Structure 1
Amino acid sequence: MTVVTPNPRLRQLGSRTAGPGRPVYVVGEIGINHNGDLDTALALVDAAADAGCDAVKFQKRTPEICTPRDQWDVERDTPWGRMSYIDYRHRVEFGESEYRAIDEHCAERGIDWFASPWDTEAVAFLEGFGVPAHKVASASLTDDELLRAVRATGKTVVLSTGMSTPRQIRHAVEVLGSDNILLCHATSTYPAKSEELNLRVINTLQEEYPNVPIGYSGHETGLQTTLAAVALGAAFVERHITLDRAMWGSDQAASVEPGGLHRLVRDIRTIEAALGDGVKRVYASELAPMKKLRRVQGALAGV
Structure 2
Amino acid sequence: MPKNINIGNKIIGDNQPCFIIAEAGSNHDGKYEQAIKLIDLAVEANADAVKFQIFTAGKIAAKTNHEIAKLNSTHGQDLYELYKKLEIPRQWIPKLKKYCDEKEIMFLATPFDYDAVDSLEEIDIAAYKIASFELVHLPLLRYVARTGKPIIFSTGMANMSEIETAIDTITQEGNKDIIVLHCGISYPMPFDEVNIKAMNSIKSAFDVNVGYSDHTSGIVVPTVAVSLGAKAIEKHYTINKCLSGPDHEFALGPDELIEMVKSIRIAESIMGDGIKKPTESEMIHRKRGRRSIFINKNLKKGHVLTLEDIEVLRPGVGIETKHLNLVIGRELKYDVNKYDPLTWELI
> Normalised by the size of structure 1, how large is the TM-score?
0.88
Aligned residue for 2:156? 162
Amino acid at match of 1:290: R
Confirm whether residue 187 of structure 1 aligns to residue 181 of structure 2: no
| Cα offset, 1:84, TM superposition | 8.0
| Cα offset, 1:206, TM superposition | 2.2
Aligned residue for 1:106? 100
1:221 and 1:253 in contact (8 A); partners too: no
Over 3 Å counting, the alpha-carbon distance change for 1:71 and 1:25 in structure 2 is farther
Aligned residue for 1:138? 132
Over 3 Å counting, the alpha-carbon distance change for 1:65 and 1:286 in structure 2 is same
Aligned residue for 2:202? 205
1: CA distance, partners of 2:321 / 2:165? 57
Q: How many pairs align?
A: 290
> Residue 91 of structure 2 aligns to a residue in which SS?
helix
Amino acid at match of 2:270: A
2:164 and 2:206 in contact (8 A); partners too: no
Over 3 Å counting, the alpha-carbon distance change for 1:77 and 1:203 in structure 2 is closer
2:93 and 2:120 in contact (8 A); partners too: no
Aligned residue for 2:64? 70
Confirm whether residue 220 of structure 1 aligns to residue 202 of structure 2: no
Amino acid at match of 1:215: G
1: CA distance, partners of 2:140 / 2:226? 29
Range 140-149 or range 178-187, more displaced: 178-187
The one-character-per-residue Cα deviations of 1:189-216 (angstroms, maximum 9, x if unpaired) are 1111101111111221222133x11111
1:28 and 1:56 in contact (8 A); partners too: yes
Aligned residue for 1:3? none
| Cα offset, 1:106, TM superposition | 0.7
Counterpart pick for 2:10 among 3, 6, 16:
16
The one-character-per-residue Cα deviations of 1:215-240 (angstroms, maximum 9, x if unpaired) are 11000111112211111111101100
Confirm whether residue 236 of structure 1 aligns to residue 232 of structure 2: yes
| Cα offset, 1:285, TM superposition | 3.3
Over 3 Å counting, the alpha-carbon distance change for 1:197 and 1:151 in structure 2 is same
Aligned residue for 2:329? none
Aligned residue for 1:264? 260
Amino acid at match of 2:135: L
2: CA distance, partners of 1:29 / 1:166? 25
Amino acid at match of 2:206: Y
Aligned residue for 2:31? 37
| Cα offset, 1:252, TM superposition | 1.5
Over 3 Å counting, the alpha-carbon distance change for 1:230 and 1:74 in structure 2 is closer
The one-character-per-residue Cα deviations of 1:23-59 (angstroms, maximum 9, x if unpaired) are 1111110111111111111101000000000101111
2: CA distance, partners of 1:65 / 1:48? 29
| Cα offset, 1:69, TM superposition | 3.9
Confirm whether residue 60 of structure 1 aligns to residue 49 of structure 2: no
Higher relative contact order (CA 8 A, sep 6+): 1
1: CA distance, partners of 2:11 / 2:263? 20
> Normalised by the size of structure 2, how large is the TM-score?
0.77
1:62 and 1:121 in contact (8 A); partners too: no
**1:249-288 superposed matches below 5 A:** 249-288=245-284
- Runs of at least 5 residues in structure 1 that lack an aligned partner in the other structure: 1-6
Superposed CA RMSD: 2.4
Computing the radius of gyration from Cα coordinates, the structure with the larger value is: 2
2: CA distance, partners of 1:297 / 1:200? 45
1: CA distance, partners of 2:106 / 2:21? 9
